């Protein structure tokens, strides 16, 4: 993660900003650090409007709403809709994440 992103997030925390706009704050960090950052954003900005440009499915799973030109609803509601583009993205993400070639077998 570049030095600018945590610095800007720290400044927003210090200023107690009411609106936070993020362009995938977790894009260039490992999953464990991304989880910590997401939890921090959720707790520290719980009473704020957070607008996130997301490049990863897990980034939006805890959001109240997902917006795309063709869809706008809560993530879980979109996932339940048969024709949801967001739901299809989630299915593809989990399928590719859970396929055997993406995991190292402990039986080798």
Per-residue pLDDT reduced to its tens digit, 60-80:
777 888 775 678 889 899 889
**Domain extent listing, the chain:** 1-63, 66-101
pLDDT, residue 108, reads 41
Backbone angles phi, psi at 68, to 5 degrees: -140, 160
Residue 105 has pLDDT above 70, yes or no: no
């Amino acid at each position: 993660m570049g030095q600018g992103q945590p610095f800007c997030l720290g400044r927003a925390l210090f200023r107690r900003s009411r609106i936070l706009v993020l362009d995938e704050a977790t894009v260039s960090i490992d999953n464990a650090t991304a989880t910590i950052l997401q939890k921090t954003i959720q707790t520290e900005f719980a009473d704020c409007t957070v607008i996130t440009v997301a490049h990863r499915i897990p980034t939006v799973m805890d959001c109240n709403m997902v917006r795309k030109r063709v869809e706008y609803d809560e993530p879980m509601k979109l996932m339940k809709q048969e024709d949801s583009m967001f739901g299809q993205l989630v299915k593809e993400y989990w399928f590719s994440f859970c396929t055997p070639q993406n995991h190292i077998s402990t039986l080798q």
